[in-house]
Chains A and B, each alone.
Chain A
């Protein structure tokens, strides 16, 4: 299905994002990218590195400093058949655009009964752990997951970033594509530039197991996988699921796993109250209660303002906390 060449080297998650955007820019003349510092500078995380040189200033555009303008312009451009990819520099700066996203991007198709729609991708780095200043470490995906008409996607690896971003760009509806900064450059994978998209609305199984289902997304997948390895050594077989498509949720895959293991622990960096974990827990309770051998556990960020970087690792759900939650679930028998 995929071809690799002898000369292929691994790429990081951010490079996979670049690769996906470059592929779509090359194959779809309606695709364009807008954002602050994305042209000459290649983006503050280098997501658009080299793209303006390759595709020109009509396809890769630096804009004035205004997030609401970016989202609102995207509505207008998309209505005319363009497919804008908007970059918001950090999730903490997306809130001025929230009005346009909620009031228009998510609704234009519904409002016009399909006559107009918004094939827009809004990309933003999400999460913490990189010693950044205030406001640069947000995890507020649930305020977008709450909005009907939006898709929310969070890739957990370079390969998934490539495949899911291609799918997002090709999707006819608005996708909030959140990229976990902490794993932007953490590891490399071989990701063939073959233009093959991954399915939206599907979870990914990172590890099969039989005793407990660990459900996570974004950078918390790191601590979750570490916990799974530790549990393996203790004789507990954990299944690890990357939700990836936060909205719409592939609840069937989650249910199938919970029906198999009977126990689940949901891990996310976002604050606990009304986090996406709450929605997943409610659906598991509704539809798989009969398979549960223990309460659904959540290991999440606290209901606090994201602290400045000195305390950020006290906040981020740690492997220790995940292991404790698993053991608590196992204790129910």
Chain B
């Protein structure tokens, strides 16, 4: 494990120093190094990792929706009329040696539950901590979820840090990610998506009452969409709208209002 201490003089300097040191860690290592952060501005690089792929069938009943929670990682959903519903989770955990990485990996499980609205898929991890030189690092795994689901299924996807890609034909979609890009295509019904930092691309939306896209820092691109109401809002980024049919504007936001996260549920 490589460990660096950045001076804690101000938030800005911590941030800049951290970025610089993070680059050094990555460049200075011949192997792939995963960088974790501590609240004091310390950067820790873990050179060892362990990866496991879990794959399970999904049991969908007519009218079921899919709820996905990747915690930290990317989500990819593809609707298919011919393939059987399945989910595949690639989970990578880190440690300062192989044994620790393997132990951390065993703390993560792919969970599939039946809920009232349909099927919920999530990756659940116990707390992962590594101690060295009086520094405790809380680690997050890297997760990638790939799901194949029946056509027309409503989808709700949530991840704290990762890209989300939903490709239909799907039912109504709701996406919430803190730091990641969002790509949604071929939806029959409402689309709501929110990201604090990331670009969004939405195309081929039909028969929606509402399309609502919000990004803190990222561009928005919308094409071939029909909705009674459409709202596209970003603090910093371009908004590109092509071939969109919308009957009326969404109600205006109060001055200075912005939503940091999207509402859950399609």
A and B: interacting chains: no
